[in-house]
Structure 1
């Protein structure tokens, strides 16, 4: 079989394995949905929120939706693959696959397919909960949904590649969660997911902007928040061009690191 055919055959296997793992579903698939519901219920109990000067009041659900969509990309790609591959390396799965005709590229294609499939379902579920559960008005313009599409694709690809690279860091499968989850959690708190980005101190905004989640979240805010909210961004604009550039840079970095670090079996010593 060709590399593409083997990769395609792995997608179904990876998707089935993903949905058969309750812990994975809880921490990467349903977690953003649960957090959106939690924040919307807690902070939306007293009505719409005013979060900055010269911007309209919005419901908590609408304010938190962009961040939760960005977090979903990070969790589905980075956290899920980093822990999953580290555990597969630790339990000998990768070593066994290395003795088959499966190439690393086919293996990656299977993982990418799983991340895309589950990421699309997760984003759809988030949008449905926001719209029908909390009354969020979704965009109606083709331009907005086009922006959503390319931010989603670049974001989830970048997250997946960085997850593959990060999988080489944990020494054992048991330590994978302890190593990966804190990194993902810190990025979420500093990138405008749980805390509104414009309320963070300038030094923290500048530091967080070195990482891709900030740009995923900003791209999602450009889609789901009114235009006047762009004035709250560091440069007073959405800067979608820079969003694309930043994500492309991190995509290349992730690809290079994945190629340099991925092994079917961890090197001794």
Structure 2
């Protein structure tokens, strides 16, 4: 057997081992996630609760028509895209940033660092956990909107295809940014206090709790730098009538811009996660 062939097989075996360890870690992460009641409520059920609250609070007068010439839609349908985007942010960025910060502060990551588990396998486990819970959460939000508030679902295949790639780019970039943000809290006690306000501010700026078209133009421009704005814009294309593109910044859905922005944030998140990740704090 040649040296090159042996090297290739060794790399292939190492790759399978890395991915296999990642799958094992994902299973462990999912078990831990669903055993934690407060995590399930605040990152899994929170967008569903907020969708119900906003729909009841602002939907008493029936369907809304945000502009002349636009077909009226249920309030829940207006909020559904934003709550789906919020779910991606909560499941990915907030959940991972807090969890990893706590694990690092309490010494769990230091112990993992002394095992055969590589950072790549650890990332795979975390991202797969976020992906699975994100899919379940999105399905729960959509089913809730349809059954409780009779929100109509799109019938065009291209809209569901758009939903798929917006979801994939959104959940992956959020997870990677969460890994990077986990280095900011200095202790497990401060993790939630540091991360949650950041996530809340990003959501308000990005038009999650306030309709994006109602925000002043300068704030819309600021939101354009953030990934949540683009997640929500992609989701609005999927779940709102085509005429509602008139409410976007340039009067169009701009799906190419959505794809480019989320792809850029995915790369930024990957670089930041790999550069900043440590099994223990540098100042520890």
Match of 2:69 among 54, 58, 81: 54
Please point out which of 185, 202, 207 is paired with 1:192.
Answer: 207
The answer for the alignment partner of 1:72 in structure 2 is 87
Pairs within 5 Å for 1:98-247: 98-247=113-262
Structure 2 CA distance for aligned equivalents of residues 53 and 263 of structure 1? 54
Aligned length: 269
Match of 2:112 in 1: 97
CA distance in 2: counterparts of 1:128 and 1:118, whole angstroms: 15
Partner in structure 1 of residue 103 of structure 2? 88
* TM-score using structure 2 length: 0.93
How many Å apart are 1:268 and its aligned residue? 2.0
Q: Alpha-carbon deviations, 1:194-224, whole Å to 9, x = none? A: 1010110000000111010000000000000
Higher gyration radius (CA): 2
Q: Aligned equivalents of 2:72 and 2:125: distance in 1?
A: 43
Stretches of structure 2 lacking an aligned partner (at least 5 in a row): 1-15
TM-score w.r.t. the length of structure 1 is 0.98
Give the deviation of 1:187 after TM superposition: 1.0
Q: CA deviation digits over 1:67-108, x for unaligned, max 9?
A: 000000000000000000000000100000000000000001
Find the counterpart in structure 1 of residue 276 from structure 2: 261
Q: Secondary structure at the match of 2:175?
A: helix
CA drift of 1:46 comes to: 1.4
Q: Deviations over 1:92-138 (max 9, x none)?
A: 00000000000000001100110000000000000100011110000
Task: Write the distance in 1 (CA, Å) between the matches of 2:194 and 2:60.
Answer: 36
4+ residue segments displaced more than 2 Å: none
Q: CA deviation at 1:10?
A: 0.8
* Partners of 2:56 and 2:62 in 1: CA distance: 10
> What do residues 37-91 of structure 1 show as CA deviations (whole Å, max 9, x unaligned)?
1111111111011222321211111000000000000000000000000000001
Return 5+ residue gaps in structure 1 as ranges. none
